[in-house]
């Protein structure tokens, strides 16, 4: 799978509305055939930072995502709400789902 984590520094005037700002982009991406997950979290250390954790079935699915109309709309619409270019880690990893964290097993 293609596993991506990106950090978004959101402008203070947009930070409380960020979940609504990205709602249509998020919903459209989650509906993509090759999307495994697309989840936003807000940083506990920096209230102006949102972290996106996303995964796609394979490179073809990731490519389809980048070519999608909603991705192009996000490229056009989201930067006005950002302080800087998002930072990203993008890697191909084995598997198709989350693994269990054995060191914190719950009995």
pLDDT digits (tens, 9 = 90+) for 21-70: 999 999 999 999 999 999 999 999 999 999 999 999 999 999 999 999 99
In a domain, residue 105? The reply is no
> Once rounded to an integer, what is the mean pLDDT over residues 67-89?
98
Number of domains, the chain: 1
Model pTM score: 0.93
Is residue 54 exposed (0-12), middle (13-18) or buried (19+ Cβ within 10 Å)? buried
Kindly state the tokens that stand for 91.
Answer: 């890697």
CA–CA dist 9, 104 (Å, integer): 31
Read off the CATH number of the domain in which 19 is found. 3.30.70.100
Which domain does 20 fall in, by range? 2-93
Res. 107: pLDDT tops 90:
no
Percent of the chain at pLDDT exceeding 70: 100
């Amino acid at each position: 799978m293609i596993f991506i984590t990106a950090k978004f520094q959101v402008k203070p005037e947009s930070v409380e509305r960020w979940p609504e700002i990205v709602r249509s982009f998020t919903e459209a991406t989650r509906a993509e055939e090759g999307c495994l997950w697309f989840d936003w979290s807000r940083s506990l250390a920096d209230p102006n930072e949102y972290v996106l954790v996303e995964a796609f079935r394979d490179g073809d699915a990731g490519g389809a995502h980048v070519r999608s109309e909603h991705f192009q709309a996000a490229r056009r619409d989201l930067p006005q709400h950002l302080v800087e270019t998002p930072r990203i880690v993008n890697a191909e990893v084995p598997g198709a789902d989350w693994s269990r964290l054995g060191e914190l097993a719950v009995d």
